[in-house]
Chains A and B, each alone.
Chain A
């Protein structure tokens, strides 16, 4: 069964360091989402791609976060420099039809910033 892949699964870093997360969506899914989930809360959308184009990054802290999906397939989310408040689960999801239709989630990357 096709799945969304993410790596690493866990990342521990010190504040001011750079971190990067990778996501490979289900083959054929044009829409890719990056979410941040703080413990005890629901996911919050950071960035949404349609193919290689960003369609929504209104909640992405652009002074330290960046995301790319150069060939419209896999994607990388980067944080530089990491801050203590960035500790969270970072989830990637993909969707065949985009918008508010069904999304398929990866296992997530749990980031701890010390």
Chain B
């Protein structure tokens, strides 16, 4: 079993819909990241959080430490949001590195 599980693996929605991507992890962590990867490979960091909730524009990230679960929400989705969204956790068993989920491929149709 992977240490970081994302769901769904693929998500297709219509422009304007509210999007939720989930990330679950199996052991205690120190931090969780949400990243965005566009076709062609470049990865951009969206959020780093260790508790609570963060918001940036139409993106909202939440984390529940007790339930070992995080969600990334996109409000008023747009075709330019189409990308792969990756969850990564750090500090597993004290390790000073990130462990990545397999990613969620999001497609927003106009």
Residues of A within 8 A of B (CB): 37, 40-45, 48, 55-56, 89, 91, 93, 98-108, 110
List 7 other contacts, CB 8 Å, given A101-B48, A108-B42.
A44-B100, A56-B97, A100-B31, A100-B33, A100-B91, A101-B90, A107-B41
Report if B106 contacts A (CB, 8 A): no
Binding site secondary structure of chain B: strand
Interface hits, B81-110 → A, CB 8 Å:
86, 88-91, 96-98, 100-103
Looking across the interface, which residue of chain A has its beta carbon closest to that of B50?
A100
Q: Assess the B45–A42 pair: CB atoms within 8 A.
A: no
How many angstroms from the CA of A61 to the CA of B90 in the assembled complex?
Answer: 23
Report if B27 contacts A (CB, 8 A): no
Listed by A's residue number, 12 A-B pairs whose Cβ atoms lie within 8 Å are A41-B103, A45-B97, A48-B97, A56-B97, A93-B43, A99-B97, A100-B30, A100-B33, A100-B91, A105-B43, A107-B40, A110-B41
Residues of B within 8 A of A (CB): 4, 30-31, 33, 40-45, 48, 86, 88-91, 96-98, 100-103
**B contact residues around A55 at 8 Å (CB):** 96
How many angstroms from the CA of A102 to the CA of B30 in the assembled complex?
Answer: 13
Given contacts A91-B43, A108-B41, A110-B41, contact A103 B98 (CB under 8 A): yes
- Residue among B30, B33, B41, B102 with the highest chain A CB neighbour number at 10 A: B41
**A contact residues around B91 at 8 Å (CB):** 99-100
Q: Assess the A99–B90 pair: CB atoms within 8 A.
A: yes
Given contacts A98-B96, A100-B31, A108-B41, contact A42 B90 (CB under 8 A): no
